[in-house]
Structure 1
Amino acid sequence: MKNRQMSFDDEMFQANIKPEYWVNQSTSLINMAQNLTVTERRIIYSLIALIQPDDRDFKTYVLSVKDLAQLIGYKGKSFYSQVEKAIDGIMRKQITIYSTDGKQRVVDKIQWVQQATYFHGDGQVKIKLSDALAEYLLNLEKFTKYRLINVLRLNSEYSWRIYEFLKEDEWKSSSIVQRDKNKTWKSHRIMYVDELRRLLDIPDDTLKLMKHFRATVLEKAKKEINEKTDIEFDYEVHTKKGRRIESFIFYINPSQRFQDLQTDVDSTMDQVQSLVNVLIKNGVRVNAAIKLAGKYHYEYLRANIRYVVTSASSKRNQAGYIISAIEENYAHYEGPSEKTERDPFYNLILGQVEQRLKQVNERDNKALEQIIKKHEKMLLENPHADIKQIINSRKSSIMSELDKIEFVRNQQNHPSLSEEDISNQTIKDIFSEWKAQIIAIDVY
């Protein structure tokens, strides 16, 4: 397995997970007992969000392990093994469906993932959903849909599942008034406690006391869903048998905070892109800039960067000074510094910013290397040509291309090309001379 190379002879698709993608699934799948952890759900439902409306069967997706690690919130050197462990866990999980054929009880057990192949050298995983899930995810007539962003932010599997139950009924029922609070709700759903425990895969010997069930499951879900998703809900006891609570009624409204999802995505993307760009423009290496943006709160970073760039004193090692300022809080920012909660939405955005920078560097390197190849071809085709003239022509063409790259990057709000971004040594040498000329012009 380790010596295999990834083959693209089969129909495979490079996955690019985005938080604004839709998750579509049948209502019957939502109302089946599931025992996935939050980590496992983030992977599975990101795959489900990649399914297109016109798909007739499941595709085999190729995903970057690093992207999956950002989605899950794994960091450090062992993220590859952590991702592999998470996917292995999914492959052991099943959905159990109980039915009857009229004569006998039938039990179907369906796996979520049909196959996963790891390519350690490429840092990628090839993965496909189980074909047995097709009737619940493809060509749907009765289905529930929601944006991936609404569940990626949830940190409890109970919150995620309750969100799905409520989304299923969001548009079904007529409006209802919650009498105790005199509040009108768009919709509602009544759920029995036994049904909730079964669907949430809570064993009989777990959370036996209702106060513990409400605190761990319902109250936590209420807090998370109301703060982080496109709906809000409240609940209260619906029926009792003696002193025992038999069912709850859930009241559902769309949330005003998440009505314009794309604005939220675009705003976060712009914030992260701007933050990373400022760090890079001040000499911080790309990898270090991405790491800082992933570790510290946005406002904390912005405060300390502003402190440095507005400082009257000029530092020879500006990048080092910025990093020290961030690590030691030179700006005396009073809010939280490091992120304490995993935010897959933010991580995905950060990953997209990193990927965009990588693509820009690859594009510009390719353009510069084409000039090198062009002049090499000129020399091969005409061995008697004036070598000095060709070298001067090559240098002039590369400098002109660097001017163009700088202009385009400024227009697209990308940081300037740096020496570390360039892979070809000849181009690096010319870049150093070009950079010196630019600095001389600025000084003049």
Structure 2
Amino acid sequence: MIAKIQPDDCDFKPYRISVSELADFLGVDKNSAYRECRKITKSLLTRVLEIYEPDRLLQTSWVSSAEYVNGSGIVNLSFDPLLKPYLLKLKGNFTSCKLEMLLSFKSQYTMRMYTLLKQYGWRKEREIELHEIREILGLRKDLYTEYSNFKLNVLLPTQKELSEKSDLTFEFDEIKNGRRVGAIRFLISPKPASAPLLPSDETHDDRTFTPEPSAVDRLSDLSVQDLLLLVPQQHRNKKTVFTALEVFSKRHGFDYVKRNILYSNAKADKSYAGFLNNALKADWGYDWDLEHNALPKNKALEVWERNGFASSREYDNFMYKKQMANYGLVIE
């Protein structure tokens, strides 16, 4: 909704949200999205937002109404009018691309850490008392009370996720008061511009792609070969698929791309290449991978299950093709 505010808007209007597009964006089943969306918007109507200012405290809801148009798959949402001075003055700076990045964060602490550091990103450095960091991140007083636990469960994971997904990175120094860490000095730096987003034009999905010699050299990287073997046979020669594997494996690593390929294999219903590209951009396979690899009680997972395959036969076939690829043989 925020991303739909235009720079010249002087007032709020109902913002149209497609339930189908929302399901695609969040990587959830469309049928589930239709069932749950009304519950979610009803809950949103009751969620209280508190805005602190020097002379007052404003308590309001994010949205004032949610209207469903029967049979359209559309919900019209309206911001509470009291939010005008806070949201309209953004003047379109909250782009949908930036929101996609923020929503890709898996940890609530990453979102808050990003907001904190972004305010001071161009100052390069900021020192913050440890108790103040805990308050900003919304940590309960009884949670991660020892600094070692705070560092392991909050500080290092947020550092890793920001480095992977955001437009800034940070290093940190521990400032000690005696023998205890009393403050953190953040060394903040902007990340170099990432590679441009892959084309989303689905009209090219059915085009086959024969790599140029230079591309063949790059394809010799074993990890890319392995990833290609995970893709269904009929999609391996598509340019968008090849480019996606190459770009995202360099950017995020083998396991990141693998889980999103396996997720796409299980969930894609129409355009495989388009679905895979969107999954890689937003890491749709993250939660799916966690659930898929969760150990059932009293049952050890088979090797093919641990590696995300649907059956032992599928896993054996993959391993056979991988071994043949090592010998320079391509098995169809």
What is the TM-score normalised by the length of structure 2? 0.59
Tell me whether 1:229 sits opposite 2:153 in the alignment. no
* Paired letter, 2:129: Y
* Paired letter, 2:112: R
Find the residue that maps to 2:45 and give its secondary structure.
Answer: helix
Q: What is the Cα deviation at residue 63 of structure 1?
A: 1.2
Counterpart CA distance in 1 for 2:281 and 2:232 is: 21
CA 1:195–1:120: 2 relative to 1, 3 Å? farther
1:130 aligns to what? 80
Which of 138, 147, 163 is residue 201 of structure 1 equivalent to? 138
1:211 aligns to what? 148
* Paired letter, 2:116: F
Q: Deviations over 1:158-205 (max 9, x none)?
A: 11221122222122x2xxxxxxxxxxxxx1232333322222222212
Find the residue that maps to 2:76 and give its secondary structure.
Answer: strand
Percent sequence identity over aligned pairs? 29
Counterpart CA distance in 1 for 2:281 and 2:128 is: 36
1:269 aligns to what? 200
CA 1:73–1:212: 2 relative to 1, 3 Å? farther
Whether the 8 Å CA contact 1:144–1:168 is kept in 2: the answer is no
Whether the 8 Å CA contact 1:152–1:345 is kept in 2: the answer is no
1:162 aligns to what? 113
After TM superposition, where is structure 1 displaced by more than 6 Å over at least 4 residues in a row? 143-146, 342-345
Counterpart CA distance in 1 for 2:14 and 2:42 is: 17
2:9 aligns to what? 55
Counterpart CA distance in 1 for 2:180 and 2:44 is: 36
Tell me whether 1:191 sits opposite 2:191 in the alignment. no
Tell me whether 1:256 sits opposite 2:180 in the alignment. no
Find the residue that maps to 2:121 and give its secondary structure.
Answer: coil
Q: What is the Cα deviation at residue 144 of structure 1?
A: 8.7
Q: Which has the higher contact order (CA 8 A, sep 6+)?
A: 1
Counterpart CA distance in 2 for 1:155 and 1:140 is: 25
Counterpart CA distance in 1 for 2:138 and 2:24 is: 27
Q: What is the Cα deviation at residue 257 of structure 1?
A: 5.1
* Paired letter, 1:52: Q
Tell me whether 1:305 sits opposite 2:241 in the alignment. no
1:382 aligns to what? none
CA 1:114–1:224: 2 relative to 1, 3 Å? same
Tell me whether 1:68 sits opposite 2:19 in the alignment. no
In structure 1, list runs of 5 or more residues that go unmatched: 1-46, 174-186, 280-296, 310-333, 351-444
Counterpart CA distance in 1 for 2:109 and 2:121 is: 18
Whether the 8 Å CA contact 1:56–1:138 is kept in 2: the answer is yes
Find the residue that maps to 1:256 and give its secondary structure.
Answer: coil
Q: Deviations over 1:189-244 (max 9, x none)?
A: 32333322222222212232322222222211111111112222112223x34444
Whether the 8 Å CA contact 1:74–1:82 is kept in 2: the answer is no
CA 1:349–1:223: 2 relative to 1, 3 Å? closer
CA 1:76–1:214: 2 relative to 1, 3 Å? same
Tell me whether 1:121 sits opposite 2:93 in the alignment. no
Counterpart CA distance in 2 for 1:58 and 1:76 is: 28
Counterpart CA distance in 1 for 2:28 and 2:130 is: 34
Find the residue that maps to 2:6 and give its secondary structure.
Answer: coil
Q: What is the Cα deviation at residue 338 of structure 1?
A: 0.8
- Over aligned residue pairs, what C-alpha RMSD do you find? 3.8
2:278 aligns to what? 346
- Larger Rg: 1 or 2? 1
Instruction: Note the 1:273-288 alignment, pairs <5 A.
Output: 274-275=204-205, 277=206
Whether the 8 Å CA contact 2:121–2:188 is kept in 1: the answer is yes
1:80 aligns to what? 34
Tell me whether 1:109 sits opposite 2:46 in the alignment. no
Q: Deviations over 1:352-397 (max 9, x none)?
A: xxxxxxxxxxxxxxxxxxxxxxxxxxxxxxxxxxxxxxxxxxxxxx
Counterpart CA distance in 1 for 2:236 and 2:85 is: 57
CA 1:221–1:54: 2 relative to 1, 3 Å? same
Instruction: Note the 1:345-364 alignment, pairs <5 A.
Output: 346=278
* Paired letter, 2:121: E
* Paired letter, 2:105: L
